[in-house]
Amino acid sequence: MSTFPAIRPLPSEALAAMLQDAHQRTVELVQGIEGDDLFGPYMPIVNPLLWEVGHIGWFHEHFILRGLDRAPPLLQGADELYDSMKVAHETRWGLPLPSIKDTLDYLRQVLNQLLARLSDGEASEQDTYHVHLTTFHEDMHGEAFLWTRQTLAHPVPLLTGPGRPSGATAGPLQGDVEIPSCTHVLGAIPVPGPFVFDNEKWGHRVSVDAFQIARAPVTNEEFAAFVDDGGYQRRRWWTDAGWEWRMTANAEHPVYWLKDGSRWTHRRFKTSEGLPPHQPVVHVNFHEAQAYCRWAGRRLPTEVEWEVASSRKMGGAAMNPNKRRYPWGPGKPTQEVANLDGYALGCLDVAALPESDSAFGCRQMLGNVWEWTSSLFQPFPEFTPDPYEDYSKPWFAEGRRVLKGGSWATRARLISNGYRNFFTPDRRDIFAGFRTCPR
């Protein structure tokens, strides 16, 4: 079965708008960062910002201008600087990188070339696919810029957009919902439609037993109860791998939490603030999520359970066989239904955005925080890599876990119920939390 590209062509003006919007966001995310901060200290979890900006331009050029059009490179030696498939991570701090001005000029040249090649009317299937691929790649790095700024305590960025939505301090949301047993098609359907990544291909039937799942992710207040009960000191709540990580990392609480007398605060970018009790806990890794679940007598959902809760609905007495692209239905994400696109510059309370509810009553399954699942990141049956061969294939054997749903920093055009994110279980720099199920 062919896996590429199975995408619905879009008007060229829509693709141009995507490219321009992604470029503007990249420029905004590096504004105000200068000197040594453009590199920062060597860390295995982040890239030097200066390198990462140039890599974005290189990726667009590599897959479209040079890959499709066979055009000569716009920047001599770019492959030796920015090819992430060949330039080892630990070497990127020592490369002879252009200045930030020259790097942004390179990005602008690439963008102008991309826009010039889009003809009027409907774009080809090939162009539609590749512009989505490279724009979504830029979107992912935009989210990485935000967690890098958080990791390195940079100031809050200034982003063009509507800002924080109303009703952000809506409080907690308790309780579980009941999901009946069903057969679920996990993965994308091989017909021309929206862009999907290779690790979503193709849909295959999975039997799912009846289960319950929380209406909302675990909150700061709930996780603080685990911390205050000695959760990080009690070996009994941790798996062997989790306890080894905790001891090695000397972790006593979530990474950006601080104790101020009897109350918890947290660092948000450069500033220490009171810990919002009803926002989802964020910057916790898979091991921390598992330990909390053991303490609370709960468990993490599997990938397919999470997707059933977010995408399915009842059709009379039985489950409707169709699945939704978004939890709330067919309408694209807006501020009324999802905390996405980075505009809020942080999380909302878990009870916010009631219009985001899935058919079963789960809230904010897209946006706010990525949600760890218990599932290993593995290929679906008959997986075949797409043109960006290193997007998924190298990571299947690494013990990564699937995360679902996106965070406040994820671009709305990228995310859907079917999107699969994947990180190693020790990563707590990312904007990740979790939702639980009863055991």
pLDDT tens digits for range 78-98: 999 999 999 999 999 999 999
Mean pLDDT, the chain, as a whole number? 96
Pick from 197, 158, 160: nearest CA to 21: 160
Are 140 and 175 in the same domain? Answer: no
Q: What is the pLDDT of residue 6?
A: 77
pLDDT of residue 3 exceeding 70, the answer is: no
Residue 242 lies in a domain: yes
Are 413 and 343 in the same domain? Answer: yes
Whole-angstrom Cα distance, residue 179 to residue 212? 6
Whole-angstrom Cα distance, residue 419 to residue 389? 17
Are 290 and 358 in the same domain? Answer: yes
Residue 5 lies in a domain: no
Are 47 and 117 in the same domain? Answer: yes
Domain with 218, as residue range(s), is 165-439
Residue 159 lies in a domain: no
Residue 136 lies in a domain: yes
| 4-13, 42-51, 283-292, 389-398: range with lowest mean pLDDT | 4-13
Are 111 and 180 in the same domain? Answer: no
Q: What is the pLDDT of residue 5?
A: 64
Whole-angstrom Cα distance, residue 41 to residue 220? 29
User: Residues of 361-399 as b/e, b for ≥16 C-beta within 10 angstroms?
Assistant: ebbbbbbbbbbbbbbebeebeebebbebeebbbeeeeee
Residue 60 lies in a domain: yes
- Which of 126, 151, 176 is at the close of a domain? 151
pLDDT band, residue 344 (cuts 50/70/90): very high
Are 107 and 215 in the same domain? Answer: no
Residue 212 lies in a domain: yes
Q: What percent of the chain has pLDDT over 70?
A: 99
Are 96 and 180 in the same domain? Answer: no
pLDDT of residue 4 exceeding 70, the answer is: no
In this predicted model, what pLDDT tens digit does every residue of 357-402 receive, in sequence order? 999 999 999 999 999 999 999 999 989 999 999 999 999 999 999 9
From residue 166, give the alpha-carbon distance in Å to each of 42, 162, 225, 352.
39, 11, 28, 9
In this predicted model, what pLDDT tens digit does every residue of 251-293 receive, in sequence order? 999 999 999 998 999 999 999 999 999 999 999 999 999 999 9
Residue 264 lies in a domain: yes
| 151-155, 252-256, 313-317, 322-326: range with lowest mean pLDDT | 313-317
What is the domain count for the chain? Answer: 2
CATH number at residue 47: 1.20.120.450
Beta carbons of 327 and 365 less than 8 angstroms apart? yes
Are 193 and 319 in the same domain? Answer: yes
Are 202 and 234 in the same domain? Answer: yes
- Which of 120, 151, 182 is at the close of a domain? 151
pLDDT band, residue 167 (cuts 50/70/90): confident
Are 147 and 181 in the same domain? Answer: no
Q: What letter represents residue 262's amino acid? A: S
In this predicted model, what pLDDT tens digit does every residue of 196-233 receive, in sequence order? 999 999 999 999 999 999 999 999 999 999 999 999 99
pLDDT band, residue 168 (cuts 50/70/90): confident
Are 205 and 277 in the same domain? Answer: yes
End-to-end CA distance of the chain: give it in Å, rounded.
39
Whole-angstrom Cα distance, residue 251 to residue 244? 11
Q: What is the pLDDT of residue 2?
A: 43
CATH number at residue 238: 3.90.1580.10
pLDDT of residue 152 exceeding 90, the answer is: yes
Residue 7 lies in a domain: no
Radius of gyration of the chain (CA): 22
Task: Judge if the upstream peptide bond of residue 5 is cis by omega within 30 degrees of 0.
Answer: yes
Are 224 and 122 in the same domain? Answer: no
Beta carbons of 339 and 367 less than 8 angstroms apart? yes
